[in-house]
Amino acid sequence: MKSFWGAYLAIFFVLAVVCLITWGAGSAAVALGVAAFVMALLLVHHLRNIALLRRWLRNPVPEAVPQGSGAWDGIFAEFYRMLRRQRQSESRLTATLEDFQQAGAAMPDGLVILNAADRIEWCNPVAEQHFGLDRARDLGQSITFLVRRPQFAEYLHSQEYSEPLTLRQSRGSDYILSVQLVPYGDRQKLVISRDVTDFERVETMRRDFIANVSHELRTPLTVLCGFLETISESRNAEGELLRRALPLMAEQARRMQRLVEDLLTLSRLESSHNVPREEKVDVPNLVRALYNDAVALSGGRHRIVLDVACDDWLLASEEELRSAFSNLISNAIRYTPERGELTISWGRRLAEAVFSVRDTGIGIAPEHISRLTERFYRVDRSRSRETGGTGLGLAIVKHVLNRHHGRLEIESEPGKGSTFTAVLPAQRLLPPQTSDSIARTA
């Protein structure tokens, strides 16, 4: 840059010397003409470069920086370097912003960034799902216009964000959000939302479990304690009183025993240290044995049909399968009126193994089906006590199937009956085994 200004100074120096010489020789007009010509050339040079600069400033990209001359070449080169540094800085900022947005999009919680006026600056896909937002459409909109919940607006304007807000969405009573605001920067806010529906459901199940198990144990204990108190207070216990009291006491004691046994079974199934023992199970033979048990349990009150459609065995825990399958059968017998029909089936459905129990019983309303496998969940409490169930059978079935990577399917219609199907994956299917083949693989 300094060299170019030196060149201009040299030109002006030479021009001044020429003018002095011509002036001294009496040629003043010639000197002034030469000076004017040189100045005009310099002016045209500068105007040309200024025009190039103005044209480039309309779209200042480094690739299109003009090729100047003289001092302007250094100026344009400086513009080029400045724009390159700006481009690099913008690239770094863009990459940082993209990293932040990708990290935010990967978050399992919803994130919404609000400016000082509580308008949406950015949100991730989870927040779009939680609040029904559209990132392309709703940026710049006030969040209170889009999340129309009075309790949310009160929470937003209260400035008290130490505790989260529990928000039940209008999409359904089972959809629950935990929302917390975090102030930062210049009056900006970060809205964090988390779906706590499952957590709330587990809490409800825990409360119901405690209440139900207390109630289930209290009833037989009340009977036992009442009769024991009556007998102890009676100085001369009559034979009739004992004959009436002792069977009832024995029945309630057996009920408590079944309840405790089922609770212990559930506890064992839920233990991560209790890995299921896998063995080759002759399921057709097991199903036939359970059919005989069902006939004995029914006592001739039902028509029971056995349908063994395949000879496949399973790689599973025979004890746990027996427990799960027998619970399905005993439930069907208890909830099917006299002269009703039960069908016990073992077979394949596509590549999966299926054990099903179909009955013509009282059926179940749709709103109860999703909760049937909860502990002590009762569709009809009075009828459940009459039938002698503990309320834990389907919970045991669910846990056994989960441990074998299977699932329980329930189809039911009130007044027409129900079908409970235990579905087990194809990976557990085995061809029929003989004693020789079992010995070879043992």
Domain 108-195, classified CATH 3.40.720.10, yes or no: no
Specify the DSSP element, H or E, that contains 415: none
CATH class in words for 204-270:
mainly alpha
pTM for the complete prediction?
0.49
Report the alpha-carbon distance of residue 167 to residue 34 in Å, rounded: 87
- Per residue in 229-240, pLDDT (tens digit) is 776 666 555 666
Whether residue 440 is predicted with pLDDT greater than 50 in this model: the reply is: no
Residue 93 is predicted with a pLDDT of 76
Q: What percent of the chain has pLDDT over 70?
A: 73
* pLDDT (mean) for 201-221: 69
Q: Which residues contact 160 (CB under 8 A, 6 or more apart)?
A: none
Whether residue 99 is predicted with pLDDT greater than 90 in this model: the reply is: no
- Per residue in 113-170, pLDDT (tens digit) is 899 898 988 888 888 888 888 888 888 889 888 888 888 888 888 888 888 888 876 5
Q: For the ranges 57-61, 364-368, 395-399, 410-414, which has the lowest average pLDDT?
A: 57-61
Report the alpha-carbon distance of residue 36 to residue 47 in Å, rounded: 16
Residue 441 is predicted with a pLDDT of 46
CATH-assigned architecture of domain 279-435: 2-Layer Sandwich (3.30)
Report the alpha-carbon distance of residue 169 to residue 426 in Å, rounded: 40
Average pLDDT, the chain: 78
How many other CB atoms are there within 10 angstroms of residue 334's CB atom? 17
How many other CB atoms are there within 10 angstroms of residue 365's CB atom? 10
| Listed residue (424, 185, 149) closest to 313, CA to CA | 424
Q: Where are the domains of the chain?
A: 2-93, 108-195, 204-270, 279-435
